[in-house]
Structure 1
Amino acid sequence: MLEEEYAPRRRLPARLRPPAPDPAAFEYDIREAVVADLPSVRAIYNHYVANSVVTFDEVPLTLRALRSKFAHLQKLGFPFIVAESPSGEVLGYAYVYPWKEKAAYRFTVENSIYLGPAATGKGLGRALMAELIERSKAAGIKEIVAVIADKGAEGSIRLHEQFGFTEIGRMGRVGFKFERWLGTVLMQKSLK
């Protein structure tokens, strides 16, 4: 039998094929983060520290440092949100943090969004971004800046573009991780 004759027969008949996964079956709620979420948030973040260049951190984040950051954001009234599965698992998180500590920057923040590896490619990043932007507006924030790795974070760049972030600059060779030089793409969105 020729290859082209055999190819159509490789597919199982519909009655024998397993059903395709239902994308609507990926359920979650987005809510304000609480202290009890921080170990899960840390685990998600540390996955990226160890396995990717989307963060320039090279040392795993400690729970103590994360608790300190969380407390600071709560004091400022800035959003820190998580996406939670029906079983209570934290699937991803997002927050904004002061762009710079000088007082004149008080209405400008940098955003961060991270998803657990099993939650990528399912629209969760879009949902977290939309909610983060709305909560940032409600908190009185006027500008959001994103600092994104120029290699290995193309999905993040596309996500930001879809929400109206525009590229405002690039910095080349400012980070060195996994034995290679990396740059950053700077993007910004006004919330006026």
Structure 2
Amino acid sequence: MSERWVTPVTLTGQHVLLEPMALEHVDELSAAASDGRLWELWYTTVAAPEAMAASVSQALARRERDGEMPFIVREAADGRPIGSTRFCNVEAERQRLEIGYTWYSASYQRTAVNTECKLLLLGHAFETLGAIAVEFRTHWFNHASREAIARLGAKQDGVLRNHQRLADGSYRDTVVFSIINHEWAAVKQHLRFRLARHQASSR
């Protein structure tokens, strides 16, 4: 096997810690997803507790087969599991990848968590891996996700119509956003500013 482009790494910030996912995280991820019963949102792919073991196994299989890197997201202060995210659709030869499969416990949505997670992931992608572009994809009807991606500073590239068939038989129109390497300096400054505002408002 050729040398992997994306290798296991732990990314640590002030609010969050991103740790490579492992099979022993199944119960913790189930507990995190139960905060808000996230699997009941039809336009997301968060596994229900009874399906979490299979979901984690699939993520780890894709890590080995496709060079992806799934993470469990923890609260930095106490190590509490609060979500998951992933480097996926890795194209090492083109130096492109996607940040996806992201979800957070309901209690941590619209907090500093997503901003800092993306700051850590994008920083690693552009500054360590040398990526030339990072994509974000979401369901057309996931308006909260689309707004959150736009707030990061990503630009919408387009919509892939009938891009995927979901488990319930419906078809997903996928909205594609991206940030390219030449934009990273400005996006990084923007994310740091947003993070500082989150911190100031929480005092």
Alignment TM-score > 0.5, same fold: yes
Query: What's the CA shift string for 1:116-159, capped at 9, x where partnerless?
Result: 122112231112111111122213333212221111x2222222
Describe the superposition over 1:71-109 as per-residue Cα deviations: whole angstroms up to 9, x where unpaired. 754894857351326443211232211346xx644x221
**Letter of the 1:70 counterpart:** L
Alignment pair present for 1:132 and 2:121: yes
Distance 2:86 2:113 in 1: 14
Mean Cα displacement is larger for which, 74-83 or 29-38? 74-83
Aligned equivalents of 1:70, 1:146: Cα separation in 2? 20
Q: Deviations over 1:150-179 (max 9, x none)?
A: 11x222222222223211111234445667
Higher helix proportion: 2
Asked whether the 8 Å contact 1:83–1:128 carries over to 2, the reply is: no
Q: Kindly name which structure, 1 or 2, has the bigger radius of gyration based on alpha carbons.
A: 1
CA-CA distance at 1:57 after TM superposition: 8.2
Instruction: Give the secondary-structure state (helix, strand or coil) at the position aligned to 1:54.
Output: coil
For normalisation by structure 2, the TM-score amounts to 0.61
1:189 to 179, 190, 199: 179
- Is the contact between residue 16 and residue 116 of structure 2 (CA under 8 Å) also seen in structure 1? no
Which of the residues 74, 77, 97 maps onto 1:83? 74
Structure 2: segments with no counterpart, 5+ residues: 1-13, 183-203
* Structure 2 CA distance for partners of 1:180 and 1:167, relative to 1, 3 Å: same
Aligned to 1:15: none
Which runs of structure 2 are paired with 1:107-146 in the superposition (5 Å)? 107-112=95-100, 113-137=102-126, 138-146=128-136
Mapped to 2, the partners of 1:65 and 1:45 lie a distance apart of 12
**Per-residue CA shift, 1:9-36, capped at 9, x if unaligned?**
xxxxxxxxxxxxxxxxxx9432323524
Distance in structure 2 (CA, Å) of the matches to 1:98 and 1:72:
10
2:138/2:145 contact within 8 Å kept: yes
Q: In 2, distance between residues paired with 1:168 and 1:42?
A: 33
Following TM superposition, by how much is the alpha carbon of 1:188 offset from its aligned partner in structure 2, in angstroms? 1.4
Percent identical: 12
User: Please, which runs of 5 or more residues in structure 1 have no aligned partner?
Assistant: 1-26
- Tell me, yes or no, if the aligned pair for 2:156 and 2:175 is still in contact at 8 Å: yes
Partner Cα distance (2:108, 2:119) in 1: 17
The 3 A distance-change label for structure 1 pair 134 and 71 is: farther
Q: Contact 1:96/1:110 (CA < 8 Å) preserved in 2?
A: yes
Kept in 2, the 8 Å contact 1:150–1:184? The answer is yes
The alignment's TM-score, normalised by the length of structure 1, stands at 0.63
2:18 maps to what in 1? 31
- After superposition, the Cα gap between the structure-2 partners of 1:74 and 1:38, relative to the gap in structure 1 and judged at 3 Å, is farther
- Structure 1 residue 38: Cα displacement: 4.2
1:93 pairs with one of 84, 93, 114:
84
